[in-house]
Structure 1
Amino acid sequence: MAVDIEQRKKWDIRPGNIVRVWQKIKEKGKTRLQAFEGMVISHKHGYEPGATFTVRKVSDGIGVERIFPLFSPNIEKLDVVRRSKARRAKLYYVREKAAREIRKKMKQIKRNAVVDKGEVSESDTDKNSDGEK
């Protein structure tokens, strides 16, 4: 159950990114993977052993936030679904905003990337969600 610390430091967890976190769940002696997909609204304590990141999603009209320890052995992998550039380090203001307003605030970055075992492919084209630069 050892965690590869250097691999976890390469994960691109930035506020505004939409990520899918795969977490190990033990039920009745079996282990399965459960995905939690949402927007990263904060990343705290850098890459020290107590580092955490908060992911928020809206499920059936109710906002759900989970705080994940970065170096938890229960996190199997992390997929970056969509990247966007935020102008703030902590995006707590999205709790009160509608989804349309949030999309306008975030600057979308077109990249094809899956962060799993160090494989990353990227194209550095920046594009605003409205199609403007």
Structure 2
Amino acid sequence: MSDLVEFVQNEFIEKKEFPKFSAGDTITVYYEIKEGEKSRTQFFRGVVLQLRGTGATKTFTIRKMSGSVGVERIFPINLPAIQKIEINKKGAVRRKRIFYFRELTGKKARIKEARRS
């Protein structure tokens, strides 16, 4: 049964090429919004909290601050509305899922930038 599911996912779901990113990175996701007959591109820029799942069911969670309120959004990696993903900053974190980041405020909420080699 799982072979059949994998076959259908590989054949019928179109795959887009996005840059590799991980938890702690600051990224910008450009996605299309349709309002009636009009469509426009909107972006969501924030810190990646987690990557979850594999293959066609892979999702990632992004958190940004809107004023003093934290806003989180979960994007499926195969969402047809996603136009592109830009990596703004590579973060140096030790964990794959940084949910502790939600409680941090001020200077503690900064993530060190990863060294480029």
Compute the TM-score of the two structures, normalised by the length of structure 1. Answer: 0.73
Structure 1 outlier segments of 4+, above 3 Å: none
Tell me the CA shift for residue 102 of structure 1: 2.5
Deviations 1:13-52 (A, max 9, x none): 2000000000100012011100000000000013x11100
Name 1:69's counterpart in structure 2: 76
User: d(CA) in 2 for partners of 1:6 and 1:38?
Assistant: 21
Name 1:84's counterpart in structure 2: 91
User: d(CA) in 2 for partners of 1:6 and 1:67?
Assistant: 17
Name 1:57's counterpart in structure 2: 64
Asked if structure 2 preserves the Cα contact closer than 8 Å seen for 1:3 and 1:72, the reply is no
Structure 2 counterparts to residues 80-119 of structure 1, below 5 A: 80-103=87-110, 106-109=111-114
Aligned-pair identity (%): 32
Larger relative contact order, structure 1 or 2 (CA cutoff 8 Å, min sep 6)? 2
User: d(CA) in 2 for partners of 1:35 and 1:27?
Assistant: 16
Q: In structure 2, do the counterparts of structure 1 residues 99 and 39 end up closer, same or farther at CA, with 3 Å as the change threshold?
A: farther
User: d(CA) in 1 for partners of 2:30 and 2:68?
Assistant: 23
Gaps of 5+ in 1: 111-123, 126-133
Query: What RMSD over aligned residues (CA atoms) do the two structures have, in Å?
Result: 1.8
Tell me the CA shift for residue 4 of structure 1: 5.0
Q: How many residues align?
A: 106
Could you tell me which amino acid in structure 1 is paired with residue 112 of structure 2? Answer: K
Structure whose CA Rg is larger: 2
User: d(CA) in 2 for partners of 1:58 and 1:32?
Assistant: 22
Tell me the CA shift for residue 12 of structure 1: 1.4
Deviations 1:76-111 (A, max 9, x none): 1001111112100001001101141122xx33125x
